[in-house]
Amino acid sequence: MSERLTKSAARNIFYGGTLFFLAIFIALVVQSHLYILNVSSNNDRLTESIIRGKRLWEKNACIDCHTIMGEGAYFAPELSNVWDRFGGKDDPEGAREGLKGWFAAMPTGIEGRRQMPQFNLSDQDLDDLIDFLKWTSEIDDQNWPPTDAG
Amino acid sequence: MTYSSQRVALYYFGGALVLFFVQVLVGVLAGAVYVMPNLLSETVPFNVIRMIHTNALIVWLLMGFMGATYYLLPEETETELHSPRLAILQFWLFFVAALVAVVGYLFGIHEGREFLEQPIYIKVGIVVVSLMFLYNCTLTLLKGRKTAVANVLMLGLWFVAIFFLFSFYNPGNLSLDKMYWWWVVHLWVEGVWELIMASILAYLMIKLTGVDREVVEKWLYVIVGLSLFTGILGTGHHYYWIGTPGYWKWIGSVFSTMEVVPFFAMVIFTFYMVWKGGRKHPNKAALLWSLGCAVIAFFGGGVWGFMHTLAPVNYYTHGTQVTAAHGHLAFYGAYVMLNVAMMTYAMPGLLKREVYNQTLNMWGFWLTTGGMCFMTFTLTFAGVVQTHLQRVMGMNYMEVQDQIALFFWYRLGSGVAVLLGVTLIIYSLAIPGREGGRVSTPQGAPNPAE
């Protein structure tokens, strides 16, 4: 490496540059935080039920099989748009019943097909979880995913 | 090995190797469930298998980093560790916490954010362990010589702990949750872990090649500078589709593309140092792992990362097997190989032997690295087909998975190869060679390990 760059100069560039980029990053994250609250995520419609649903989503570690907004395991379908896939936009009641029926039918036990466990959720739990999935489907996420398949 | 307190590293390397084996064994099990989906589905569902696989990986890598730190810090600072007893106590706390977490997972006791599944009391335990570790190492650094290697390493370790604190923030709003979740996940593996990686590689280069410290440390500052200048704003490539503003598509694409540069710099650095140094160090296996680490990290992290990092591409590939391919090779190249390099270098000294089991260790290198590369290729093919069928054609997820089933068989096969390779590595590291471990160098002259 060139003799013009001394070790102490390299060190100073490292510390100074890191602080510079960290400051920009923090400023943009603050702006994004406000954008999420005020623009993209319908935070004003974030009900207790949706938050309870999110906790159920976490308690049962759904993300270690499924993805949500593309993040998680890749063993089972994407769920940020499962509400749309079940026709929730046109027929919310039908989608809710359809999803509850899906949960009730698990595990299918079909040989050679991936199995979802039976989580024994109460009707209230199911409503909370479905409220969470419905709310998630309504986040403005730059039109991801590209198709209904998720 | 010059300082007696370096021996505490042996605990950490031992614990890390145990968890390494568990991680790979459970990984093979997960690969088997992909092709035989009814396997264990009622007793240990896939989500539990997967969280053991990922958590064991993260914990053993951290344990290895801690062992590496305890090993190199006395040599760098030219002083004994502040408290070897505290270091041993800290190891047992960490190891027991890891075992409790794994057993808890089997009984369904976990939280549910990816990689942060540890129950709250385990998370608090991790913070306590980190504080014990940072206290011990920082006091050692303060009383001794302050080299660039030691300073950058400690800076990295401090920020690992600081960013972990974001795991305690779990808002009800999923978009906010995700944005700060990446402060742990991305700012670890594409940020401050690279500081740890670069400083340990720099230490190994000083020891193995004999190049002047001034030269190595200047490279170190340049590499970690490039890592953080690109990696911090590179976080933007996780902010495309989670409800964050659209400008992240530009920032994420540009800066995460440049994340390739520090990885490439590490390849140039390690090969140039070896070429320039010309020292014939007897521990050839440690040198092989160090060079392999830089190369595979460049391909796994750099090339495979770039492949799907541009926003218009990521729109289609996000959350497919392409991501899985990148994740596997990046973790293996950057952090698994780094830890094995350090252990290969340090174990002979810790066990008071000449370098031993070099051939076996190198067979482990080629088998494991070959297996990981093949796994990455099969998952990449699977991901490309999946992307087209599901994201372009709109075919149903489960139908697509049936279409790519063949690749999952190949992946299982490569996983078995990796398991065999890892068994060789662990055996070669933990079990001294024949003739009482006194395997001499090819020239026949016994050479000191340092």
Q: Which of B120, B178, B244, B395 to mutate to test the interface with A (most CBs of A within 10 A)?
A: B244
B176: which chain A residues are within 8 Å (Cβ-Cβ)?
33, 36-37, 41
Residue B440's pLDDT is what?
44
- Provide the pLDDT for residue A2: 63
Q: Which residues contact B248 (CB under 8 A, 6 or more apart)?
A: A28, A32, B236, B239, B240
Query: Residue A77's domain is classified under what CATH number?
Result: 1.10.760.10
| Location of structure tokens 């039976």 | A118
Write b or e for each residue in A25-47: b if 16 or more Cβ atoms lie within 10 A of its Cβ, otherwise e.
Answer: beebbeebbebbbeebbbbeebe
Interface test with B, best of A32, A57, A84, A129 (most B CBs within 10 A): A32
Structure tokens of B8? 């505490």
Does residue A52 sit in the same domain as residue A97?
yes
Question: Rounded distance, CA B416 to CA B24, Å?
Answer: 9
Give the gap in angstroms from C-alpha A55 to the nearest C-alpha of chain B: 8
pLDDT bracket for residue B278 (50, 70, 90):
confident
CA-to-CA dists, residue A68 to A40, A101, A136, angstroms? 16, 21, 9
Q: For residue A78, what is the DSSP state?
A: B
Residues A72 and A129 in one domain: yes
Contact B321 A142 (CB under 8 A): no
At B264 the pLDDT is: 98
A51 and A23 co-located in one domain: no
* Yes or no, beta carbons of A10 and B38 under 8 Å apart: no
Of A60, A144, A149, the CB nearest to B112: A60
* Predicted local confidence at residue B280, as pLDDT: 85
User: Does residue A94 belong to any structural domain of this protein?
Assistant: yes
DSSP string across A18-40: HHHHHHHHHHHHHHHHHHIIIII
Q: Is B401 on the interface with A (CB under 8 A)?
A: yes
Q: CB–CB of B403/B381 below 8 Å? A: no
Phi and psi (nearest 5°) for B51? -70, -30
Q: Are residues A23 and A86 in the same domain?
A: no
Distance CA B425, CA B249 (A): 42
Q: How far apart are CA B311 and CA B242, in angstroms?
A: 13
Residues A111 and A51 in one domain: yes
| Per-residue tokens: B351 | 């066990």
Q: From chain A, pick out residues whose CB is under 8 angstroms from the CB of B51.
A: 61, 64
Considering the domain architecture, whether residues A32 and A93 belong to the same structural domain is answered as no
pLDDT tens column, B353-368: 899 999 999 999 999 9
In a domain, A24, yes or no: yes
User: SS3 for A120?
Assistant: coil
| Mean pLDDT confidence for B34-52 | 96
Q: How far apart are CA B267 and CA B262, in angstroms?
A: 9
pLDDT score of B439 more than 50: no
Q: Say yes or no for a CB contact (<8 Å) between B232 and A18.
A: yes
pLDDT at B433: 75
- Asked if A46 and B315 come within 8 Å (Cβ–Cβ), the reply is no
The pLDDT value given to residue B229: 98
Q: What is the pTM of this model?
A: 0.95
Residue B436 has pLDDT above 60, yes or no: no
Distance from CA of B423 to the nearest CA of A (A): 27
Q: How many CA atoms lie within 13 A of B406 on its CB side?
A: 4
Do A25 and A51 lie in one domain? The reply is: no
Within a domain: A143: no
Residue of B nearest to A47 (CA): B172
- Sign of the Cα torsion A59, A63, A65, A69 reads positive
Q: What is the pLDDT of residue A1?
A: 57
User: What is the per-residue pLDDT for B446?
Assistant: 41
Domain count, chain A: 2
Can you give the pLDDT at residue B434? 63
ipTM above 0.85, yes or no: yes
Residues A74 and A33 in one domain: no
In a domain, A145, yes or no: no
Residue A77 and residue A21 in one domain: no
Question: Which residue of chain B has the CA closest to A72?
Answer: B114
- Strands (E) in B27-73, as ranges, are none
| Whether the Cβ atoms of residue B349 and residue B7 lie closer than 8 Å to each other | no
Question: Looking at the predicted structure, is the pLDDT value of residue B448 above 60?
Answer: no
CB pair distance less than 8 Å for B41 and A115 = yes
CA distance B109 to A59: 9
Q: Does residue A55 share a domain with residue A24?
A: no
Query: pLDDT tens digit string along B197-238?
Result: 999 999 999 999 999 999 999 999 999 999 999 999 999 999
List Cα–Cα distances, B29 to B32, B39, B53, B322, B331, in angstroms.
5, 9, 9, 20, 19
Is there a contact between B243 and A17 if contact means CB atoms under 8 Å apart?
A: no
Neighbouring residues of B265: CB distance < 8 A, sequence distance ≥ 6: B219, B222, B223, B226
Give the mean pLDDT of B14-18.
98
Flag whether residue B394 sits within 8 Å of chain A, measured between CB atoms. yes
Q: Are residues A36 and A51 in the same domain?
A: no
What is the percent of chain B with per-residue pLDDT over 90, rounded to a whole number? 93
Which of B371, B409, B48, B60 lies closest to A73 in space, CA to CA? B48
- Supply the range of the domain harboring residue A128: 47-137
- Chain A residues in contact with B241 (beta carbon < 8 A): 69-70, 141-142, 144-145
Q: In this structure, is residue A17 part of a structural domain?
A: yes
Q: Closest approach of chain A CAs to the CA of B373, in angstroms?
A: 20
Q: Do the domain assignments include residue A147?
A: no
Rounded to whole angstroms, the Cα distance separating A101 from B14 reads 49
Q: Do B176 and A36 touch (CB under 8 A)?
A: yes
Radius of gyration of chain B (CA): 21
DSSP annotation of A117 reads P
- Pairs of residues, one from chain A and one from chain B, whose beta carbons lie less than 8 Å apart: 210
In DSSP notation, B223-272 reads HHHHHHHHHHHHGGGGSSSSS--TTHHHHHHHHHHHTHHHHHHHHHHHHH
**Closest by CA position to A57, among listed A133, A2, A5:** A133
Which residues in chain A have Cβ-Cβ distances shorter than 8 Å to B315? 144, 146
- Residue A1 in any domain: the answer is no
Residues in CB range of B432: below 8 A, 6 or more apart: B351, B353, B356, B357
- pLDDT tens per residue across span A26-55: 999 999 999 999 999 999 999 999 999 999
Listed as ranges, residues in chain A with pLDDT below 70 are 1-2
Co-location of A33 and A87 in the same domain: no
Cβ–Cβ gap A10/B222 under 8 Å? yes
Cβ distance A111 to B390 less than 8 Å, yes or no, reads no
Residue type, B312: P
> How far apart are alpha carbons A77 and B395 in whole angstroms?
12
The pLDDT tens digits of the residues spanning B286-321 come to: 999 999 999 999 999 999 999 999 999 999 999 999
